[in-house]
């Protein structure tokens, strides 16, 4: 049997197509600041680490490395999906306040739902915080390969959805630049 035939028989975890949140960083902060003070750090940690609520709740103090500014995140889909996530020093204080969680899953959800309604962002689900990190990083040009590592995906194709918006913006800018240059060279009036 050939290697590709053998590999084709190995079971792999199915992953859903990535969700692409439309909320801006300003929307995120509006929701966070609408949450009770004691819950805010939890939501920031989920967004910074790119984790869902179950992954977040599993993070313990021993998973934090303040010297390296990293957090060990154990995946929920497989015991073998452990990853180390780096945290920018500007957000390390949020991580330290968030871990270990002072809230159980139910209260994380209750407070989040109240805050998103109050902030006028009813579509922003708590699990979307995992996707926000990838979307914001993709908008800033982080590669699909790097996003795959950050999110702990097994397939780089899973993270392409997060780079599409940045790519589309780059294309739109290139088109506008070309048209604008042509307008100037042709001395055509602007709108």
Least confident of 22-36, 51-65, 134-148: 134-148
Is position 5 within any domain?
A: no
Is position 1 within any domain?
A: no
Is position 62 within any domain?
A: yes
User: Tens digits of per-residue pLDDT, 98-121?
Assistant: 999 999 999 999 999 999 999 999
Which domain range does residue 40 map to? 22-185
Tell me what pLDDT residue 15 has.
Answer: 45
37 by Cβ neighbours in 10 Å (0-12 / 13-18 / 19+) ranks as: exposed
Is position 83 within any domain?
A: yes
Q: What is the mean pLDDT of residues 19-45?
A: 91
- pLDDT surpasses 70 at 20: no
Is position 159 within any domain?
A: yes
DSSP string over 132-168: HHHHHHHHTT--HHHHHHHHT-S-GGGGHHHHHHHHH
Least confident of 26-40, 81-95, 127-141: 127-141
CATH of the domain at 63: 1.10.443.10
Is position 11 within any domain?
A: no
Percent of the chain residues topping a pLDDT of 90: 47
Tell me what pLDDT residue 172 has.
Answer: 73
DSSP string over 86-149: E--GGGHHHHHHHSS-SS-HHHHHHHHHHHHHHTT-TT--TTHHHHHHHHHHHHTT--HHHHHH
pTM: 0.74
User: Tens digits of per-residue pLDDT, 161-187?
Assistant: 666 667 766 777 777 777 777 767 776
Q: How high is the mean pLDDT of the chain?
A: 82
- pLDDT surpasses 90 at 137: no
Is position 81 within any domain?
A: yes
User: Tens digits of per-residue pLDDT, 69-96?
Assistant: 999 998 765 555 788 888 999 999 999 9
Domain count for the chain: 1
Is position 14 within any domain?
A: no
């Amino acid at each position: 049997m050939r290697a590709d035939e053998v590999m084709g028989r190995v079971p792999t975890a199915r992953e859903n197509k990535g969700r692409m949140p439309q909320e801006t960083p300003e929307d995120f902060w509006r929701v966070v600041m609408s949450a009770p003070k004691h819950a805010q750090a939890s939501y920031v940690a989920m967004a910074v680490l790119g984790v869902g609520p179950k992954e977040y709740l599993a993070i313990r103090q021993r998973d934090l490395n303040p010297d390296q500014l990293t957090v060990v995140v154990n995946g929920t889909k497989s015991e073998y999906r452990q990853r180390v996530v780096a945290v920018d020093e500007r957000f390390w204080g949020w991580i330290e306040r968030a871990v270990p969680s002072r809230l159980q899953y139910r209260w994380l959800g209750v407070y989040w739902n109240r805050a998103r309604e109050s902030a006028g962002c009813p579509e922003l689900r708590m699990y979307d915080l995992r996707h926000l990190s990838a979307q914001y990083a993709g908008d800033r040009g982080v590669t699909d390969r790097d996003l795959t590592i950050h999110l702990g995906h097994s397939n780089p194709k899973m993270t392409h959805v997060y780079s599409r918006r940045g790519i589309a913006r780059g294309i739109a800018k290139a088109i506008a630049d070309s048209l604008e240059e042509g307008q100037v060279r042709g001395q055509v009036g602007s709108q």
